[in-house]
A and B are shown apart, each in its own frame.
Chain A
Amino acid sequence: MNSSILRTMARLLASLLLMASLYLLWRGHNAPGGGFAGGIMAAAAFVLVAVAFEPMAGWRATRVSPLVLIPLGLAIALASAFAGAAAGDGFMAGQWISVDVGGEEVKLGTPLLFDVGVYLVVIGVALAVIIPLMGEEE
């Protein structure tokens, strides 16, 4: 698509969408959101770039190839699952630590890490399917 308006807006919108997707991922454990919804929203951001510029631009925008994101996400999810086993609580048992951020207590745990894995897999999957479909006519 050759539209300079869309191109200008796409940069802005894509970064906003990415930030929103990260926010969804972060707050997922306590409010609507999570790795899946966040991942799809992030994928939408990259697809927007692909639509506005050219398909491979959306592919490159992830920096790490979507084909690598999939196994990377799986590895992260698996690692979080083994953390429980390593701590002796059994496979997939959640492990939590509390971090003090500016006087406010923030709980970080392996479920969040697991969600990060889901997030990355979803981005990789969506892009690995959509972008080649777009790029076929080249």
Chain B
Amino acid sequence: MGLALALAGVFGTVPVAAALPGRWWRGAALALVPAGVFVYLLTLLERARDGDPLTWSIEWVPALGIALAFRADGLALLFGLLIAGIGALVLVYAEAYMAGKAGAGRLEATLLAFMGAMLGVVFADDVVTLFVAWELTSITSFLLISFEQEKLKARKAAVQALLVTGAGGLALLAGLVVLGQAAGTYRISEMQAEAVAASSLANGAMVLVLLGAFTKSAQVPFHFWLPGAMAAPTPVSAYLHSATMVKAGVYLLARLNPVLGDLDGWRPAVTAAGAATLAVGAFVALHEEDLKRILAYTTVGALGLLTMLIGLGSELALKAAMVFVVGHALYKGALFMTAGTIDHGTGTRMVGELGGLRRAMPWTFGAVAAGAVGLAGFGPVLSFIGKEAALEAGLEEAGAAGAWAVAALVVSGSLFTAAGVVLLRPFFGAERAPHAPHEGSAGLLAGPLVLGALSIGLALAPGVIEGRLIAPAAAAAAGEPVKVSLKLWHGFNAALGLSAASVAAGIGAGLGAPRLTRPTARLMGARWFPSGPKVYDWLYYGMQRAARFHTVWMQRGYLRGYIGAVLLTSVVLVAAALVRWGGSLEREWTEPAFYEAVAAATVIAGATAAIVHMSRLAAVTALGAVGFGVAIIYALFGGPDLALTQIVMETLSVMLFVLVFYRLPKLVERGPLPRRLRDGAIALTVGVTMSVLVLASLGHRDGEPISRYFGETAYVEAFGRNVVNVILVDFRALDTLGEIVVLGTAALGVYALLRVRRGQR
């Protein structure tokens, strides 16, 4: 119950955030909610460690085995604590960042909505629950990236992120459903790896789930949306696009590792994608000038590192991944926030335009320094422990995977270090900035300083988290108990040596960065270079072109074209079914009664008149006669309800036609002969096919007619003697509800269109 209440509390604060006045205390006040959730989650740690995680569920779609189910095991709690804890800091930061600007409340409200969705993702124990929350994070992310909606760049970046993660989300939905089918349950905690592996669906599910996780966590080649998402305000970048949302994919991989990890393709695919992403992210980061884009690419790299570790899948690797998740969230969150502070204090985020800030912005300098050491992963920071463990995991791994992993770690280690050096550069040298630099306010500094201090503090006292937090999380990701002991100082070993070498190389590269990267920058800037955004644009505009072609071809704007297409399609389908059926059409002929003949003659006469008359009004009136004739036939053959509806409907539609035709130009000719012949042929085909269909279905009634069932139950169960009405308003009322919704929507559309036309005159 507590978990559900925590989620409801976060979502419930959303409207409060939008309603509160924009005072300095608003951020801090709102932050109390995630802070409370944070404390609550801390109390759950013990149960998770003891293997008795808190669970809560209610039935949702019991017929399909779908429930709203939550479970707070070690893995979920680790991510949940990051989401709530950093979320609280981000809210304080966001208030200071917006500094009373309009829309601050909207920003904080959306951040809270995202927070709730994200907590839903990590605590979900049911795949459908997970998916719903997952999509909600994509949507809130879209809203946050496009926060400055008047800017084209922001809108484009938001659509790009939504399309990439949304497409991945669709794959994920399919993957989760297939996985549920293969496992025989939608509860993640009840899925058995053996059952899944035995199913023929396993590999399909795996590929689809991987697509979902890779797009969300910006793995190569889907990584490009993340740097684009930097169009969002900095609090959003710090929260969604470094510390939490992008880690949802990593979370999912870790969550499903016990279920899917033993399938043949899993380890190679996940490890390779992670290693490639690590290399690409770390490499491209050096080519960027904008502080936020540098951080975005190092985030891509870090996500690759995490993915790679989960792919390796050994106990050590998973342990390293869990430590690094926390370490990365701390230093990257801090760095992102300082990027916003620098932007505020100097008026730019371009590294090249800044220098000597350390005197004017000493606190920011401290936070950046802590973050840069974290980025380099060398020194008394939590990410150092994580990276050393990762290196050890790579060294321990036999074969090519281990070698590649170690190579990726070493190379990216030096590139990350270089990026860290670049981040520090604005603080040294002669003072340079677009306007006189000034230190950020307390609200801007609190977040980065707290996170930076935690990054160092937890490294100095890793015992605080090793048993309570890291071990249960790694155990959940491994699917078996894991023993964890974290030490800052491991003594001199191979991992330390590799780290030291790569960091030294990185410092050198960072100092020489703009000159060293010029050739590769030129290469990547080349027109033919297939960079992610370009490929996306090709696909995006290609899709638009295809859609335009398709639309021009299909939507010609002639009513007769649409009617012809609809009729011919149905005729082909019906005719194909009739030919396959191939039964006899012979019927016993009964002499029609006089009034039946009159009704039939009315219909035929009306139809003929509608064709022959040159006046539209006369034709429509003649069609009305057809309708009334049909109504008489309904009445004669025991369908009074149909007849009644037909009559009132016919009246109204004739009225409508008259009103419309009144405004149309006079019909002077009937169009060219070939077209008339074509239309005649279509009409004849449809008529013949429908007649054959009626004849065929009249004589071949297999099975119990449903009318008997309705006749028997209508009064007993629904207290109605009119079966038609009982069906409409009771037995199949959901259909009717859908129909009136459609009707109402269509009518509002027609009304609006007619009004627009009048307004234009």
Residue of A nearest to B730 (CB): A111
| Interface contact A111-B729, CB-CB below 8 Å | yes
| Interface contact B725-A128, CB-CB below 8 Å | no
| Interface contact B743-A121, CB-CB below 8 Å | yes
Docked complex Cα distance between A133 and B734 (Å): 31
- Taken residue by residue from 82 to 119, chain A's Cβ proximity to chain B (1 for < 8 Å, 0 otherwise) reads as 00000000001010100000000001010110110110
Query: With an 8 A cutoff between CB atoms, is B748 at the interface?
Result: yes
| Interface contact B659-A41, CB-CB below 8 Å | no
B726 neighbours in A (Cβ, 8 Å): 29, 111
- Taken residue by residue from 542 to 578, chain B's Cβ proximity to chain A (1 for < 8 Å, 0 otherwise) reads as 0000000000000000000000000000000000000
| Interface contact B737-A78, CB-CB below 8 Å | yes
**Chain B interface residue number, banded:** 35 or more
Give the distance to chain A from B280, nearest Cβ to Cβ, in Å.
50
A77 neighbours in B (Cβ, 8 Å): 736-737, 740
| Interface contact A37-B656, CB-CB below 8 Å | no
- Taken residue by residue from 28 to 42, chain A's Cβ proximity to chain B (1 for < 8 Å, 0 otherwise) reads as 111111111100110
Residue of B nearest to A132 (CB): B754
| Interface contact B645-A37, CB-CB below 8 Å | yes
Give the distance to chain A from B367, nearest Cβ to Cβ, in Å.
53
| Interface contact A30-B720, CB-CB below 8 Å | yes
Query: With an 8 A cutoff between CB atoms, is A134 at the interface?
Result: yes
Query: With an 8 A cutoff between CB atoms, is A74 at the interface?
Result: yes
B751 neighbours in A (Cβ, 8 Å): 67, 128-129, 132
Docked complex Cα distance between A122 and B645 (Å): 12
Query: With an 8 A cutoff between CB atoms, is B516 at the interface?
Result: no
One of B166-174, B253-261, B477-485, B647-655 at the interface: B647-655
Give the distance to chain B from A63, nearest Cβ to Cβ, in Å.
18
Docked complex Cα distance between A128 and B720 (Å): 32
A49 neighbours in B (Cβ, 8 Å): none
Residue of B nearest to A39 (CB): B648
Docked complex Cα distance between A34 and B754 (Å): 30
Query: With an 8 A cutoff between CB atoms, is B430 at the interface?
Result: no
Known: A35-B729, A67-B751, A130-B655. A118 touches B719 (CB 8 A): no
Query: With an 8 A cutoff between CB atoms, is B694 at the interface?
Result: no
- Taken residue by residue from 62 to 75, chain A's Cβ proximity to chain B (1 for < 8 Å, 0 otherwise) reads as 00000100110110
| Interface contact B640-A81, CB-CB below 8 Å | no
Residue among A32, A47, A107, A132 making CB contact with B640, cutoff 8 Å: A32
Residue among B648, B655, B724, B729 making CB contact with A114, cutoff 8 Å: B729
Give the distance to chain A from B748, nearest Cβ to Cβ, in Å.
7
Residue among A33, A78, A96 making CB contact with B722, cutoff 8 Å: A33
Give the distance to chain B from A53, nearest Cβ to Cβ, in Å.
16
| Interface contact A30-B741, CB-CB below 8 Å | no
| Interface contact A121-B740, CB-CB below 8 Å | yes
Docked complex Cα distance between A122 and B739 (Å): 11
Known: A136-B754, A136-B758. A125 touches B720 (CB 8 A): no
Residue of A nearest to B732 (CB): A92
A44 neighbours in B (Cβ, 8 Å): 648, 651-652, 655
Give the distance to chain A from B488, nearest Cβ to Cβ, in Å.
58
Name the residue in A36, A96, A125 with the highest tally of chain B Cβ atoms < 10 Å from its Cβ: A36
| Interface contact A34-B648, CB-CB below 8 Å | no
| Residues of B92-140 contacting chain A, CB below 8 A | none
B663 neighbours in A (Cβ, 8 Å): 136
| Residues of B704-761 contacting chain A, CB below 8 A | 718-722, 724-726, 728-730, 733-734, 736-737, 740-741, 743-744, 746-748, 750-751, 754-755, 757-758
Residue among B640, B648, B730 making CB contact with A40, cutoff 8 Å: B648
Docked complex Cα distance between A98 and B42 (Å): 56
Give the distance to chain B from A111, nearest Cβ to Cβ, in Å.
4
| Interface contact A125-B743, CB-CB below 8 Å | yes
Known: A31-B722, A44-B652. 15 other contacts (CB 8 A): A28-B725, A28-B729, A29-B721, A32-B640, A34-B729, A73-B740, A74-B741, A77-B737, A78-B737, A109-B719, A114-B736, A118-B740, A129-B750, A130-B655, A136-B758
Interface residues of chain A, those whose CB is within 8 Å of chain B, are 24, 28-37, 40-41, 43-44, 47, 67, 70-71, 73-74, 77-78, 81, 92, 94, 96, 107, 109, 111-112, 114-115, 117-118, 121-122, 124-126, 128-130, 132-134, 136
